[in-house]
Structure 1
Amino acid sequence: MALMRAINFKLRIVDLRDISLGKEFLRDLCQGGLACQVLNLRSNHVQKLNMAGRFMRLHTLNLDFCTALTSLQHDCFSCMPNLSRLSMCETRITNLWTTSAALSKLPSLTELRFQNCLCCSDTGPCPLSHGKETTAHGFESKKNECLNNGVPPTDGGDAIIQASRTGETFRDTLYLDRPMLISEVQRRMENLSASNEVKVSSYDLQGIGLTEPSTVIPDLCGQEKKQNEIQAKDGFLTSVPKEDVKNAAVALKKYTSHHPSPICFEKHYREYMIASLPYLEVLDNRPVRKMDRVVAKTICAKYYECLPYKRQCKESVLSLLHRREMGASNTHCQRTLKPKQLYPRHASEYFFSRSLSAAKLGSSAWPLLHSVSKFRHTFGNESKMLRPRQFEYHPSDPSLMVFGTLGGEIVVINHENGNMVSYIPSAGAMSSVLGLCWLKKYPSKLIAGSDNGSLKLLDINLMPPEFVDSCRSSVNVTFDKFDQLTSLHVNSTDDQLLASGYSKDVALYDIGSGKRLKLFNNIHKEPINVAKFACHSPFMFATSSFDHCVKMWDVRQNPMRPCYTALSSRGNVMVCFSPDDLYLLVSAVDNEVKQLSAADGRLHMNFEIASTGSAHNYTRSYYMNGRDYVISGSCDEHVVRICCAQTGKRLRDVYLEDWESGNSMFVQSLRGDPFRHFNMSILAASTRPSARWEIIKVNLLASSHNTEEYSQFSPTSFNNLGG
């Protein structure tokens, strides 16, 4: 590093691939910067890219095959004003939102790739993408350009520093016999239409009107427009020649990706990146044409929500506060100047609170995450970490949360300050707590259920605030057992309790006595994972079963005849009512999430989350911000998706990762904070380096790079029953 910095401005190309680079060297490089023009870096030590140093002359950065690289940090490109070419093939980068936010800070970026074309070794447009026949001379020219990473050869004495374990230079490793290269490329391109490497669905092609260039293009909003005119949202027409449509369709069908990063498999990845980076000219060796931008803008407007509550542009918090003090209502960005109007008093606070939320959420793509469940149980000479298995927010106290553990303990915490409020150890044989529910009229009481069938009514005022060995005084009522329990729920009047489990039955209990009132026998053909009462009606409840059915019931009617039955294409993991009981939110295996009308079970919204193909990817979804947004996560994935409940548009994805090991953390359960907008908690787990479970609080309105609260946490996708 000292040698490279001594050369300083004579430095042109630095190649740091295929060598062992220590963490200290990488830290010095990223934080101190380098005065080179081209930097090729490959290392398995780079997990979160944070190149905050000065790279003022750098115009080409190659991070291909940095297989540990998972994300880009907030300021990682803040000192690269001239960076125009960036390659990150075969990394672990996944997040569309944080990646595009980081890349948007590169004012000169014109060529970007997360996957490469077969014949391309640099970031420029593939010569075959223009539909032209490439001669041997063309390939030779292309190869020479690639060898220098787009830098023309010079004789000015500039230094080229290359580091290789085998002693080969970059020129040596890229050299191929010209006839062999030409024949191989031509052979591959002839077979592209039948290749299985391209995974472009006919749905995606039809969605942008490129499957068959007919006389009209179907607009994504449901209208049809002539092929040579596409109406932009801002009111003026963009001319799109018919030949461009055909060329785009052919290029999309023939494109074969090599060494893709996970972000490439995100739905509408290309359109999202094009819409987010307006100066981009080449993406993944494919040129960005005029029509690509029009299509990208249309697709993003249909499938993504840039800001919450239909806000159209970002505004600062200070500007909004100033407008509120001045009594102005035109906080939306408006195209035409209008006189200021005063909002009615009864609506102004509601309006401005949403606007403030939109301003805070739009200010950063990196939300604040931190763990709230790192407690240890010390008994005698032994000490063990408590591992949460289920949790619930308190219905009336914004600071309280209860969680049950895999070992059967029940812990009440103040999740705002991290202090333990009450603790009760497991009684008898170890069993996981799978069900928890607070009573609304008696806020100190809650019901806990374990997988061994035990059900108990507890009073947190009688639970000791520290670890003790006896819990008899805290148990108010013990219920009749319900074997293989997976969930429980209390009705709105706190007098009846539902219990379901790995069986086809649902039991109804009297909370005052603990006696079983009724058993709904064989009401489904497969086990009933979750049963939920309505939020306001004490008699209505819904059941979700792995037999693909969701059923609505009335405890006052015949227990064998549901009010209605709604079907899913896969087994249902859970169901819940919206806070106003207007809708049912149904989550089936592998990301099948939909919203039904609670009155008759008709489909209201299908959220169209991409499936993984796994039959064991158990999905759970809940409401956030009342019933404005839906949060959804699955046990085989390390991402929580946030969608608008009324439009289905995706607002944001939140990825979970262990900062110490870099391993993914998988979603076991989640809840929206009932008192704070755009706040939620996620039960996440990880198997490596050891099996650990954590409850992670997520604040979408706070930024992780502005606080030191971003604590390091670590959490399997086993034990997937319950809600």
Structure 2
Amino acid sequence: MAIDIPTLEERYIGSCRSHGILPSSSILSSFFKAEIKKSCQELCCLEIFIDDIKDIDFPPLLDVCMNLDTSEIEAVDLRNESTSELNGEYALSLMRAINQKLRVVDLQDLSFGKDFLRDISQRGLACQVLTLRSSHFRKLNLVGEFLNMHTLNLDFSSSLTSFQEDCFNCMPNLMCLSMCETQISNLWTTVAALSKLPSLVELRFQYLLHCNDAMTSYTSSSGRSNDTDDFILSKRVPCISESCIGTSELTDHTFGADNPLSNFYSFDDAMNHDASSIIDDSSGDTEVDISRHHQRYALSAVFARWNGQMPLQNENQDEEDLLEGTFARRTADVSQKYMPCHASPICYEKHYREFMIASLPNLKVLDNLPIKKIDKEKATETFSQYFEYLPYRWKHKESIVRILQNREIKSSHINVQSLKSRASYRSGKSQHFYARSLSAAKVGSSTWPFLCPLSLSGCRFGGEDRVFRPRQFEYHPSDSSLMVFGTLDGEVVVINHENEQIVSYIPSLGAMNSVLGLCWLKKYPSKLIAGSDNGSLKLYDIHHVGRKSTGIYGSSGCVTFDEFDQLTSVHVNSADELFLASGYSRNVALYDINNGKRLQVFTDMHQGHINVVKFANHSPSIFATSSFDQDVKKWDLRQKPTHPCFTASSSRGNVMACFSPDDQYILASAVDNEVRQLLAVDGRLHLAFDIASTGSSQNYTRSYYMNGRDYIISGSCDEQVIRICCTQTGRRLRDISLEGRSSGSSMYVQSLRGDPFRDFNMSVLAAYMRPASKSEIVKINLLASSGYTKDDSDQQHPCPSHSMGA
């Protein structure tokens, strides 16, 4: 006699009766549809929409889902179409109860909160496809088990800016990843994170529309396009050629308020997608950017045709077959065009596409566009032309232990035969060879550099706590542990930046405003010149300065010079005899350090105000000036500087200029990332660094040398990135991104300096982009792994995001 097995509906209704509640019509509908699929011998998939599920509906639903292993249900898809009222703990319990039969999880902008997201991140999920569009997390940090996951969709997670270093180690089977319209921007950290995904074959940071003379259409990830499933735009859209995709040439016209994508997708199709995403941000709660929340459905068709199954071609399928009926570059001599939509900032980096293809060799599809053999060849060529894989043009990563062993073997086995060709020996195994080898190996193994803000708050002076607001800083020229910084309040502070102990503290005492000019003396390393924006100029001897806020110096510890109005820059010559001051005028003043007198004022040296004046490092009479009149000029005091030695012009106003440590070059930085290296002898252009402009006339750029004159570091006040470039080739080595600990707390570069004692170390004066917010000095070490030495709960010292390029 056959035993009647109750249907899912019957089991659910019975559970509701035992709990004394009415059945949910939405849940009943889901069970009914699953029974229909089973009767039609289709995949018996239970699709649960949690939008209408209330907390009271949860207990009977959980009763049924906990026994799905014994039912004929083969898979469960959990979706929501709007903000759900279901408690986050209930939602987690539901997913855990379904366990291995959980196939698709599709959640968007939920009000479950950070605890919900943190639980998913730390414990993982058994689903194959995870879609999570949320504005509640900033840094991707997945540590749980995601062994079944093959698709992850983070589209429209508007606060997502970066990755934890090992965030993808837990998903070895992930094949498809989409992060359109996130805030991901750093090529280097992105590639480093994605390289941990051995199965990744499809990646998307922007959504490409295929354009032709008749219409603009979406092309699916499977490479097929049709009117019904993949949508056709009802009106013409501006197009760009393929060559523009992923470069800074893309303009804002495709992202304006009248973007036709707002009328492009149907809502029903928008909810039919299989994708995935997740995160964690352990930082403090702050306001969340939801300015793009209204676009959250626009990419929902990205994985529409997958339906939980991977639409990947056979591994043996010819590469050319991938293009059949889809992204052929040229058909009958007609160039194909694509319009990018909902691009993440990373797509606007120059040579973005080539960088990603060259760095991720297993990738088959990038931004909907299949990768051909010719694409890989072009990417390799472009990468070698514009980027350095490792410092000093090293081609392959090497073991640090092996380099040390080779150095010892070499030093103990030098013989006459090896010294026959001195030129060959010097070029191959010079005194710098092994140091550079070690640097290349360490940088290669530390894709996320170590970033740590100096602790400058909570210091006690004269019985009161001090909170410093740094405005300028300089490393000490001979003591590797010391640094001086001036503050917006006119203070001058000497700090041991290694142990973060204050060495000397000089208050403003009403005599100083913001300290904009600082310069150590080289032959008298205890002395420094400090200048403020109100024109005050003083020489201090830190050996005669105490650490208390009262009675800290007398006449023996301070020399006051004649004021220089609206001062912006001071610099001491190599002999410690003279110093120059410049400011918001066309004049430069020359001072005698020994007698404290102003010797002369050179007038009308430029047509605009002079931002920076710098002496050469070895010639006590040679100096350079840079001005917003677009000129950089070199001068010689021995010729009574009425006429410059040379004038070199930029296309924009010059923010600063400085000599290389050996005085062979002058590094000139103009507004909006126009950085050029000039020959110091005659001003001829030696190298123009290929850094993309932002279009902002207020994006003031500053650049300095690092590792002697091997590399430059460059940053701008409208951007939160430091760029590192080779001074001989112009190739970009890394980008380092700065980001505050909390969501929405982006930082920008006010000033920066390379550490004169440590290769690939630097410090950056960074400020938050909020009005009246504080600034801080961030130390960066490219040779060390990422980390943070402060207590994570210390909200006064946000640790910048460990991304590089940031």
- TM bin, normalised by shorter chain, reads 0.7 to 0.9
In 1: Cα distance, 2:347 partner to 2:392 partner: 28
Q: What are the Cα deviations for residues 89-121 of structure 1, in whole angstroms up to 9, with x where unaligned? A: 110111000001100111111111011124888
In 1: Cα distance, 2:544 partner to 2:185 partner: 47
> Secondary structure of 1:637's match?
coil
Which of 575, 592, 597 does residue 657 from structure 2 map onto? 575
In 2: Cα distance, 1:13 partner to 1:188 partner: 35
Structure 1 residue 290, shift from structure 2 partner: 1.0
Aligned to 2:500: 418
Aligned to 2:44: none
Q: What are the Cα deviations for residues 504-540 of structure 1, in whole angstroms up to 9, with x where unaligned? A: 0001110011111121111111000111110000011
Amino acid at match of 2:205: F
Which protein, 1 or 2, shows the higher relative CO under an 8 Å CA cutoff with sep ≥ 6?
2
**Are 2:629 and 1:547 aligned?**
yes
> Secondary structure of 1:677's match?
coil
Aligned to 1:192: 239
In 2: Cα distance, 1:74 partner to 1:542 partner: 43
Amino acid at match of 2:436: R
C-alpha spacing 1:637/1:323, structure 2 compared with 1 (3 Å): same
In 2: Cα distance, 1:202 partner to 1:461 partner: 55
- Asked whether the 8 Å contact 1:412–1:423 carries over to 2, the reply is yes
> Secondary structure of 1:412's match?
strand
Structure 1 residue 24, shift from structure 2 partner: 1.0
> Secondary structure of 1:76's match?
coil
Larger radius of gyration: 2
Aligned to 1:520: 602
Structure 1 residue 18, shift from structure 2 partner: 3.3
Amino acid at match of 2:144: G
- Asked whether the 8 Å contact 2:626–2:657 carries over to 1, the reply is yes
In 2: Cα distance, 1:349 partner to 1:431 partner: 47
Which of 120, 143, 160 does residue 29 from structure 1 map onto? 120
- Asked whether the 8 Å contact 1:329–1:342 carries over to 2, the reply is no
> Secondary structure of 1:255's match?
strand
- Match runs of 1:427-446 below 5 Å: 427-428=509-510, 431-446=513-528
In 2: Cα distance, 1:655 partner to 1:557 partner: 44
C-alpha spacing 1:87/1:183, structure 2 compared with 1 (3 Å): closer
Aligned to 2:780: 698
Which of 571, 579, 582 does residue 497 from structure 1 map onto? 579
Aligned to 2:63: none
Structure 1 residue 472, shift from structure 2 partner: 3.1
> Secondary structure of 1:646's match?
coil
> Secondary structure of 2:623's match?
strand
C-alpha spacing 1:123/1:306, structure 2 compared with 1 (3 Å): farther
Indicate the RMSD between aligned Cα atoms, in angstroms. Answer: 3.1
How many positions carry a matched residue from both structures?
A: 619
C-alpha spacing 1:647/1:474, structure 2 compared with 1 (3 Å): farther
Structure 1 residue 412, shift from structure 2 partner: 0.3
Aligned to 2:391: 308
Structure 1 residue 495, shift from structure 2 partner: 0.3
- Asked whether the 8 Å contact 1:530–1:545 carries over to 2, the reply is yes
Structure 1 residue 320, shift from structure 2 partner: 1.5
C-alpha spacing 1:263/1:582, structure 2 compared with 1 (3 Å): same
Aligned to 1:5: 96
- Match runs of 1:708-719 below 5 Å: 713-714=797-798
In 2: Cα distance, 1:459 partner to 1:490 partner: 15
In 1: Cα distance, 2:530 partner to 2:545 partner: 13
Normalised to the residue count of structure 1, the TM-score between the two structures is 0.80
C-alpha spacing 1:193/1:410, structure 2 compared with 1 (3 Å): closer
Structure 1 residue 344, shift from structure 2 partner: 6.7
**Are 2:560 and 1:451 aligned?**
no
Q: Mark the runs of 5 or more structure 1 residues left unpaired by the alignment.
A: 129-133, 144-180, 205-237, 331-340, 716-723
In 1: Cα distance, 2:489 partner to 2:98 partner: 61
Amino acid at match of 1:686: Y
**Are 2:152 and 1:61 aligned?**
yes
Which of 586, 602, 608 does residue 690 from structure 2 map onto? 608
Aligned to 1:127: 224
Amino acid at match of 2:405: H
**Are 2:162 and 1:77 aligned?**
no
Which of 648, 657, 666 does residue 748 from structure 2 map onto? 666
> Secondary structure of 1:701's match?
coil
Q: What are the Cα deviations for residues 154-210 of structure 1, in whole angstroms up to 9, with x where unaligned? A: xxxxxxxxxxxxxxxxxxxxxxxxxxx4352xx447x53599997868899xxxxxx
Which of 619, 627, 630 does residue 701 from structure 2 map onto? 619
Amino acid at match of 1:600: D
- Match runs of 1:146-545 below 5 Å: 181-182=231-232, 184=234, 187-188=235-236, 192=239, 247=330, 254-327=337-410, 347-376=429-458, 383-428=465-510, 431-468=513-550, 470-473=552-555, 475-545=557-627
Identity %: 61
C-alpha spacing 1:48/1:328, structure 2 compared with 1 (3 Å): farther
Q: What are the Cα deviations for residues 315-374 of structure 1, in whole angstroms up to 9, with x where unaligned? A: 1212222222333999xxxxxxxxxx9967995542111101100100121100111152
In 1: Cα distance, 2:462 partner to 2:427 partner: 61
> Secondary structure of 1:256's match?
strand
> Secondary structure of 1:25's match?
helix
Structure 1 residue 307, shift from structure 2 partner: 0.2
Aligned to 1:584: 666
In 2: Cα distance, 1:474 partner to 1:329 partner: 54
Structure 1 residue 465, shift from structure 2 partner: 2.2
> Secondary structure of 2:723's match?
strand
In 2: Cα distance, 1:430 partner to 1:392 partner: 18
Aligned to 2:32: none
C-alpha spacing 1:563/1:435, structure 2 compared with 1 (3 Å): same
Q: Mark the runs of 5 or more structure 2 residues left unpaired by the alignment.
A: 1-91, 211-216, 252-318, 414-422, 800-806
Amino acid at match of 2:152: L
